Amino acid sequence: MARPANDSPLEVNCPQCAKRVPWLPESTYRPFCSKRCQLLDLGAWADESHRISGSPPWMRPI
């Protein structure tokens, strides 16, 4: 994520809704655009809709 040549703030896509979000300290929920998108993402992790593939380290054979 390099800074644009014209010194405008870096913008990223909200992981939930893809809205453009400036990457600034004032952007409270970055990389999310809002508290709603942040909570929707957290809920997806909590109900295991989002997950990291593979087995946990304690379940792998030695």
> Could you tell me the CATH number of the domain that includes residue 30?
3.30.50.10
Is 18 among the domain residues?
A: yes
pLDDT category of residue 58 using cuts at 50, 70 and 90:
confident
Q: Given this model, what pLDDT does residue 4 score? A: 54
Say if residue 33 is exposed, middle or buried (CB neighbours under 10 Å; 0-12, 13-18, 19+). Answer: buried
Q: Given this model, what pLDDT does residue 2 score? A: 56
Predicted confidence (pLDDT) at residue 62 exceeds the cutoff of 80: no
Is 23 among the domain residues?
A: yes
Its pTM stands at 0.70
Q: Exposure string (b/e) for 14-26, b if CB count within 10 Å is 16 or more?
A: bebeeeebeeeee
Total count of domains within the chain: 1
Predicted confidence (pLDDT) at residue 9 exceeds the cutoff of 90: no
Counting residues of the chain whose pLDDT is more than 70, the rounded percentage is 92
Counting residues of the chain whose pLDDT is more than 90, the rounded percentage is 61
Is 37 among the domain residues?
A: yes
